[in-house]
Structure 1
Amino acid sequence: MRLTLFAFVLAVCALASNATLAPRTDDVLAEQLYMSVVIGEYETAIAKCSEYLKEKKGEVIKEAVKRLIENGKRNTMDFAYQLWTKDGKEIVKSYFPIQFRVIFTEQTVKLINKRDHHALKLIDQQNHNKIAFGDSKDKTSKKVSWKFTPVLENNRVYFKIMSTEDKQYLKLDNTKGSSDDRIIYGDSTADTFKHHWYLEPSMYESDVMFFVYNREYNSVMTLDEDMAANEDREALGHSGEVSGYPQLFAWYIVPY
């Protein structure tokens, strides 16, 4: 009886030891990286990426990034920019969607909204302020070309968004309209939080898109539901809840 009990104890200890030493699955590794990003532990997340690459587990990074985008985690962009500025450019190039590289290298891009497929542009107004509109037809002229300039503060990356034709930056108006939304203008300077925007990635039907939020008001950029006579739509900062609705409020950011 004593021998049987002793053998049983040894077997339990062996199982516990094997469980402790069992290799972590790729799914567990991806979840650990995902959670490090979600809670903002970017140094830990960067270290995990380096570790996974040494173990030839780049697909783990790709899976974690996929989960972050599918779940619409704002920290995804901050994490990617931390990698980009801390010797992790090749990780961003290899395991993040191409849009991240295009934005970080400040390439000229187009912003096209998902709902209406209008391209963002600036147009002249009678008071000499340029105002942002979505163009229903033009997808190729310089009017619809933009450049993102990163601004890193307190581990958060924001962007100044400049029209390459007008050399003006997008700015959200101080005053709310009748619908509580704010007009988006062009401005020759970009020295306030009203000129700063942050990107929250999202995925819809396998397409990577971005919610574009204003830093000052946390309003998301959208287009008016009503069309002008020429079928263009005015760009607005919308203050309502938009999470989970990329098909209505998100934008494609594509090379010009």
Structure 2
Amino acid sequence: MTSFENWKTASSPNYGPCGNVDKIYPYSEVPFIGQYKLVQIPRDSQLIDLVDYWGEGRIKTTEEGISGFIDCYNVNHPHQCVSNGPDRGRKIPNRVPVLSYTTCDTSSYIKENSVRIVTLMGAPINNSCAKDIARMVSKSEGKVVVYGFKRTSADIRNLESELAVYNFIHCADHVLPRQLNDLTLYDNIRNSAVIKNDLKQNICFGKYESAVELCKSLLFSSYCEVIYEVVNQLLEENCKNVMNLAYKLWNSDAQSVVINHFPCEFKAILNEDFVTIVNKKNSSALKLAVILDGMNDRRAWGDGKDKTSKRIVWQLYPVWRDSRVIFKLLNYDCGMFLKLAAYEDSIKDREAWGAYGCPDVRHMWYLEPVVHGGELLFFIINGKYGLGLKLAVCADSIGDRTLWGHSTDVRADPGYFGWYIKPIN
């Protein structure tokens, strides 16, 4: 018996309370493209929520688990029947037909730019299929979720080529959007502990591209809280790589990850917002002196009283250098960059100054986040000398303290050497 004869005698799709949703304008009973007058969906300005390419509806088996979806349109061959599960041999619910794997064109049935999510599991993604998926998915809010493919497969390359304009994201480890997360065919869809460990390891070992890719996929999934949990855990562990990850996310079209799942200080720093830099020990805000010295530099101070003037306002400019993010610290009032002196004093500390221009790493700084007493602080470490910023023990007559680069490692005492970096409201 031919596939058409099998299809023609097959039972109608399983719709109803215990089956699939009977959606408007299903073409499951239409044997050939063009045989009947077609109606394009959606009929209004709303988007179609879900199209499962090469889907057969919900299939639930004891051996393999759950695949497919109850409430969606399924693109498949004209004479394909359900291939597995309790509905095996029945017509595919809400089927939209295409001629073959190599001739995929649903434009007579599904409008262009009209689908919120397109899914595809395992079946071939040739150029024709990829082009049809790219045609139907919404340009403004659409997502394409494919699973069961290797990242380097020709199928993924075909899809990437067609979806390049949409900022295609490869969702690692089968992490799916919320409305798709009842699938169980892939066990690790539900294993958030594995995902959390993978993300943490990628960050700790400096595998930032992998960490960024995983964060992007988590952002659209039911496991987006994993990002927040891992970031905060690593901050508690004083992992300086968190700042590097934030920079990579910010510059990889994933700013929303930083905004929504990192402490607000990271957004202010990477967005180059105006901030204050305040010492934890003395509550003194970083500023530059009014008077220029003979080299047109200004001495750097901590001000224990000023909390509002332009003198204590700074902007931080990030630069990726030697596999880390490093910052230029610009004083808004003077237009000068913070630096350390080229000379040492008797105990090998170095004075901090403001200078015009930023020619070398003596004028640049690493920001290493640290959580102390439940508060987020930063060690500010000079790029050339590796000295952390500190304020002098003794204040002058008006309560100000000179700023220095400390001769020994500051990381053992965040309560003394830590700094708040706060956005100006």
Bin for the TM-score computed over the shorter chain: 0.7 to 0.9
Per-residue CA deviations over 1:152-174 (Å, capped at 9, x if unaligned) read 22432111101101011001111
Per the TM alignment, residue 209 of structure 1 is displaced from its structure 2 partner at its CA by 1.2
Per-residue CA deviations over 1:9-66 (Å, capped at 9, x if unaligned) read xxxxxxxxxxx94766434422321121111100111122123234321110001100
Is the contact between residue 370 and residue 378 of structure 2 (CA under 8 Å) also seen in structure 1? Answer: yes
Give, as a single letter, the amino acid of the residue that structure 1 aligns with 2:353.
Y
Give, as a single letter, the amino acid of the residue that structure 1 aligns with 2:348.
D
CA distance in 2, matches of 1:210, 1:24: 35
CA distance in 2, matches of 1:192, 1:178: 25
Task: Give the structure 2 partner of residue 207 of structure 1.
Answer: 375
1:105 counterpart (255, 260, 271): 271
The two structures, once aligned, show a CA RMSD in angstroms of 1.7
Per-residue CA deviations over 1:89-142 (Å, capped at 9, x if unaligned) read 010111000001101111111000101000000002554531100001111111
Structure 1 gaps of 5+ residues are 1-19
Per the TM alignment, residue 187 of structure 1 is displaced from its structure 2 partner at its CA by 0.4
Choose between structure 1 and 2: higher helix proportion: 1
TM-score, normalising length: structure 2: 0.54
Instruction: Using the TM superposition, name which of 235-244 and 120-129 deviates more.
Output: 120-129
Choose between structure 1 and 2: higher strand proportion: 1
Task: Give the structure 2 partner of residue 248 of structure 1.
Answer: 416
Is the contact between residue 216 and residue 257 of structure 2 (CA under 8 Å) also seen in structure 1? Answer: no
Larger radius of gyration: 2
1:161 counterpart (329, 338, 346): 329
CA distance in 2, matches of 1:23, 1:184: 52
CA distance in 1, matches of 2:333, 2:408: 31
TM-score, normalising length: structure 1: 0.87
1:57 counterpart (223, 228, 231): 223
Three-state SS of the structure 1 residue aligned to 2:198 is helix
CA distance in 1, matches of 2:251, 2:293: 43
CA distance in 1, matches of 2:196, 2:392: 39
Give, as a single letter, the amino acid of the residue that structure 1 aligns with 2:248.
Q
CA distance in 1, matches of 2:344, 2:318: 27
Three-state SS of the structure 1 residue aligned to 2:342 is strand
Instruction: Using the TM superposition, name which of 194-203 and 147-156 deviates more.
Output: 147-156
> Runs ≥4 in structure 1, deviation > 6 angstroms?
none
Structure 2 gaps of 5+ residues are 1-185
Task: Give the structure 2 partner of residue 221 of structure 1.
Answer: 389
Three-state SS of the structure 2 residue aligned to 1:176 is coil
| Corresponding residue pairs, total | 237
Give, as a single letter, the amino acid of the residue that structure 2 aligns with 1:59.
E
CA distance in 1, matches of 2:235, 2:321: 22
